[in-house]
Amino acid sequence: MQTLKLVAVSAGLSSPSSTRLLTDRLLQAARYRLAEQEYAVDVQVVELRDLAVDIANNFATGFPSGRLQDAIDTVTGADGVIAVTPVFTASYSGLFKSFFDLIDPAALTGTPVLIGATGGTARHSLVLDHALRPLFAYLRALVVPTAVYAASEDWGSGGDAYTEGLPSRITRAGNEFADTVAARPAGRVEDDEVVPFERQLADLRLD
C-alpha cells in the first residue's frame, strides 16, 4: 500500500485557535478521501507559532535553526500541503508569509496545495484569491480549485439554500485536494534543463 505524506502549516497564534481547528478539519477530510482510495496517510502539522523566534532569527542571521530547517524540509518533502493562516490587515499573517519566504521558490513546484484562512468577518474572504493564490502560484505549487475561508459566524453553521455551509466546503476542498495528491505522478516535477548560453553557441555548426 502506497503511503502519502500530507503536511499542514498552521499560522494560528493562540492555543486553541480557529486556524488550527480549520487545519485539522481539512486534514481529516483529505485523510478520509484517501482512505477510501486505499492509501495509507502520514500526517504532520507544522505550528508556526512555535517557530516564530526561529524564523525571526533566520532573517537576522541568515541561518535556520535545526528545528526550523526540519520544518522546511518537512513541508518541501510532502506529497501535499495544507496551508492555513489567520487574516491580519486584509492579508495573510506576517508569520505565515515569513515562513514561506524561507522556502526555495522551486521547492514546491508541482506540489498540490490546499489553502485556507480564518477571520472575524466574511468580508476578508477574498484574501484567498488576492493573497494566498498568488503566493503559491509564485512558488509554482498546484493550488486546488476550492479554498476555504472560515469567519466566526461560519462555525456551527450549516449554510442555507443559497450558501454552502462550512462543513460542506471543507469536505469538497478536502476531496479535491486528496484526489489531486493521489493523481500526482511519483517524484518531483523537475524544471527543464537550462542550457548555458556558452554551450548553445558551442553547439552551433556552420553549414
Which pLDDT score is estimated for 157?
62
Domain boundaries, the chain: 3-203
Q: Rounded mean pLDDT of the chain?
A: 88
**Average pLDDT value for residue range 131-135:** 97
Q: What are the distances in angstroms from CA 204 to CA 192, 194, 199, 201? A: 20, 17, 9, 5
If we measure between CA atoms, which residue out of 38, 36, 46 comes closest to residue 7?
A: 46
> ∠117-99-174 over CA atoms, to 5°?
35
Residues 175-184 have pLDDT tens digits of 999 999 999 8
CB–CB of 21/14 below 8 Å?
no
Residues 19-35 have pLDDT tens digits of 999 999 999 999 999 99
DSSP state of 85: E
Domain 3-203, CATH? 3.40.50.360
Q: Which is it for strands 80-88 and 91-92: parallel, antiparallel or unpaired?
A: antiparallel
The region of weakest confidence among 78-82, 162-166, 202-206 is 202-206
Q: How confident is the model at residue 186 (pLDDT cuts 50, 70, 90)?
A: low
Provide the whole-model pTM.
0.86
150 SS3 class: strand
Backbone angles phi, psi at 195, to 5 degrees: -90, 120
